[in-house]
Amino acid sequence: MANTRTVTNKLRAAGFPMELVRGNGYFYFTYSSEGVFETESEMVYRFNDLSEVEWVKRGEEFGRKVRRWNVGAMSSAREQG
């Protein structure tokens, strides 16, 4: 049966240093790697309102977004340095 742990494990197996966490009436993803910490909320009340596939898809999208931000920030820092 799918739960936050199984989604987290799938995201980590795909190379995303992330966790899906249950908040108070919503869920959120955390991304933590090499000094980078980001979160993104998912305004979903019950875990089963989305399929496991949809949870993983949303997590992967967030993980790719964070990586793009990091690459852009590092490029800007090098250009300014």
74 against 21, higher pLDDT: 21
- C-alpha to C-alpha distance for 37 and 19, rounded to whole angstroms: 11
> Would you list the domain boundaries of the chain?
4-80
**pLDDT higher than threshold 70 for residue 80:** no
- pTM (predicted TM-score): 0.85
Are residues 8 and 56 in contact, defined by beta-carbon separation less than 8 angstroms?
no
SS3 79: helix
In this structure, the strands spanning 36-42 and 18-22 are unpaired
Span 40-55, pLDDT tens digits: 999 999 999 999 999 9
